[in-house]
Chains A and B, each alone.
Chain A
Amino acid sequence: MEQIFFYIFAAVAIISALCVVTLRNPVHSAFSLIICLVQVAAIFILLRSPFLAVVQVFIYVGAVMVLFLFAVMVLDMGKETIREHMHSQTIPAVGIVVLLLALIGWLISRGGITAPLGPFDEAALAKNTEVIGKTLFTEYIFPFEVVSLLLLIALIGAVVLVMKERPKSRLQGPQA
């Protein structure tokens, strides 16, 4: 049962991913990406991480994709012509990607799990959100703080980058 679901999700994810990189209309690409991300969220559920799935839907599908669609709309991009579609280095790029695929695939097929197993078996993961929260706020508190700072910086940076040049007097605060 689980296996069937995995194959369905995987197939849909791969097809939609292919659509993302091949479709000419950016809006279509964006919608394909949404489908792909939802499939990834489903994969997370198969991996017994409902928390990750929820985060994936909230942040990616909810926030990031809306941002993408906004950008596409704001820039008002229509369908691309053939010439605009693909970069000129198609052949070497495809060659390298295929090689990469073959090499990593070969490595994965030869690999196996040798590392010792941790304490979080399926029973422990039943209270998924709780264990993740505990780990995040104890063991990973410092990276957590750093990442939150990074988000703040990204926020400010995005605002500064997009902000239009304004007359100086408005930046100096209220006058009179």
Chain B
Amino acid sequence: MNIWALLILPLASAVIITLLTRKNKDLSSYISIGAVVACFAIVAPYILKMFGDPHMHPEEQAFIWLDIPGLMVEIGTLIDPLSIVMLTVVTFVGSLIHIYSRGYMHGEEGFSRFFACLSLFIFAMIGIVISNNFIMTFIFWELVGLASYLLIGYYYQKPSAADAAKKAFIVNRVGDFGFVLGIIVIFYATGTVNFAEVARHIAAGEVSNGTLGLASLLIFCGAVGKSAQFPLHVWLPDAMEGPTPVSALIHAATMVAAGVYMLARTGFLFAAAPAGAMEVIAYTGGITALMAALLAFGQTDIKRIIAYSTLSSLGYMVMAVGVGGTNAGMFYLMTHAFFKALLFLGAGSVIHACHTNDIWEMGKLYPKLKITAVTFILGSLAMMGIFPFSGFWSKDEVLTSAFTSGHTLLFIMGVFTAFLTAVFMTKLLIVTFFGEKRYHGHPHESPSLMTIPLIILSIFAVIAGVVGIPGVEPSFGDFMPSFGEGHGEHHFNYFVAVTSTIAVFIGIFVGWLIYSKKAIDNKQLAANWSGLYAALVNRFYIDHFYDTVLVKGIYNQIARISNYIEVYIIINFIINGSAYLTRQTGKALRLTISGQLQHYALAMVGGVLVIMMMYVIL
């Protein structure tokens, strides 16, 4: 099967739905689902091939898109184990979420638009994954941003959704600006944008250390924006304004992981970069992970809690890449895609049943929503990282790479994050599914169109860790390109595993004490730590800071100056001025239009006379 079909199918689906079948909701959804499932079918043989031969030779296909002297840009595909893993995640999770969406979005206005946007997203995401050069990556990078914008703003009549979409788009611009600068630096240093070529130039030592550090930090800016790392994390929780399947697909499983994927793809750059740059990346990830886990406590919206846990997980992945454990990061990315998509879809199912997002209006839903609850609990256990769920293996790898590379502080932050995660996930489970009844109406289990994807995802959330279990061949580390100092192999570290597991169990116990046993009164706790609690509810005032300083202070001032320039200089002077001048000239020249034929004839003869005189004189 031709690899280009991966791009063409979803794009065609988006175009066809937009232009032709928008009126027919069922047909539109079938086209979109068909496209993504077909993509998965194309990817499947590659997965088998990868398992058969973990060190498969990368397949690169490309045609030249832009060829000007000094710059050649290709549209190309690069199929190696790294992209196959990511393709699997995108198309497999994407297929399940498409199917789920058919049930979840049932009866929504703009149903076809939703599927068109999903197809556009799949197209763009696959583009990022299979891209073989920076420019193409960047184009599709922006396209996923667009799809994300369209889908967050799906309920565009709601001001909060429109604002969230705008916020996501603008915050991403900040990161993308750095990304562009990084690409420029790389192009300036190596004269090419193709990944393999750039890697060759760097390996040959043609690029100075300072340039490498600058380029890697700038490229990392793009990842900070897209993967919502501190300090650009503010858009992700707001992005939960979009429909839940979108949160699951884009803002948990795939798009936000694109930043991590990109870090892995350009790993040759980070492996060669000076240690300082890597430290920045690692600590950015660590801080994000810890901060997001804390912030999750301040939320009551089920989707926002999971969104903060996503932030925390993304921080984990970035931290893993930062400490040199690219394969650990990618492994976590893969397992995270399964259990986080599961959690979001489960949350969607709960919301579908209760018609509210507030966990304090749920409670004791377990008897009503058995399938959702069981799958949700499985997902939560995977998220917390309990043996033998997939999350355990991947988190263990991340922590091990932090520990073995000597980043003890990061290791402690990671373990503490795991503890916090366990506490708030326990809280989420207890408040939502157990405890006393607080819901209204009669919640009922979602249709099978929604529960089947949940079940499939929960299976993968449980077993996906198998490929990463140390000692099992072929292991996940084999799939990943190993750069530089050979972080490719992974040794099981009992100290790390035991420490994190103990932390998680303490977390569960604490959560149980507070929210189920009520041994510790959570209201009392909030009152005692009122300062911290207020900070948590207000998201550490980071959004507030952006609003006051950036939006009101800088943005509005720029707006005022731009407004002044537009109104007085452009409109009043240039536009109206030229119009006035034209009008006055016209008025003056109008007098010569007498309507008298012979006046014109006289002018013509006079003109001939003048020309002849000029000829004679000159």
Contacts and interface: CB of A to CB of B under 8 A. Distances in A.
Chains A, B in direct contact (C-beta < 8 Å): yes
B609 interface: yes
Given A103-B613, A103-B616, A107-B616, A93 B608 contact: no
Contacts of B598: 87, 89, 93
Contacts of A107: 612, 616
Contacts of B613: 103
Interface string A82-121: 0000010100110011011001100100000000000000
A93 B608 CA distance: 13
B367 interface: no
Contact of A104 (B599, B602, B612): B612
A99 B616 CA distance: 13
A96 B599 contact: no
B605 interface: yes
Nearest to B612: A103
Contact of A99 (B599, B602, B609): B609
B606 interface: yes
Interface in B591-618: 598-599, 602, 605-606, 608-609, 612-613, 616
Contacts of A97: 605
Contact of A89 (B599, B612, B616): B599
B616 A100 contact: no
A96 B616 contact: no
Nearest to A97: B605
B594 to A, nearest CB: 10
A92 B602 CA distance: 8
Contacts of B612: 100, 103-104, 107
B480 to A, nearest CB: 76
Contacts of A89: 598-599, 602
Contacts, number: 24
Interface string B125-137: 0000000000000
Nearest to A93: B602
Contacts of B599: 89
B602 A100 contact: no
Nearest to A87: B598
A35 B109 CA distance: 88
A96 B612 CA distance: 13
B592 to A, nearest CB: 14
A35 B609 CA distance: 30
A119 B235 CA distance: 91
Nearest to A110: B616
A100 B608 CA distance: 9
Nearest to A99: B609
A93 B599 CA distance: 9
Nearest to A106: B616
Contacts of B606: 96
A97 B604 CA distance: 12
A101 B481 CA distance: 93
Contacts of A100: 605, 608-609, 612
Contacts of A87: 598
24 contacts: A87-B598, A89-B598, A89-B599, A89-B602, A92-B602, A93-B598, A93-B602, A96-B602, A96-B605, A96-B606, A96-B609, A97-B605, A99-B609, A100-B605, A100-B608, A100-B609, A100-B612, A103-B609, A103-B612, A103-B613, A103-B616, A104-B612, A107-B612, A107-B616
Counting from the closest, the 7 A-B pairs by CB-CB distance are: A87-B598, A96-B606, A100-B609, A96-B605, A93-B602, A103-B612, A99-B609
Given A93-B598, A100-B612, 14 more contacts: A87-B598, A89-B602, A96-B606, A97-B605, A99-B609, A100-B605, A100-B608, A100-B609, A103-B609, A103-B612, A103-B613, A103-B616, A104-B612, A107-B612
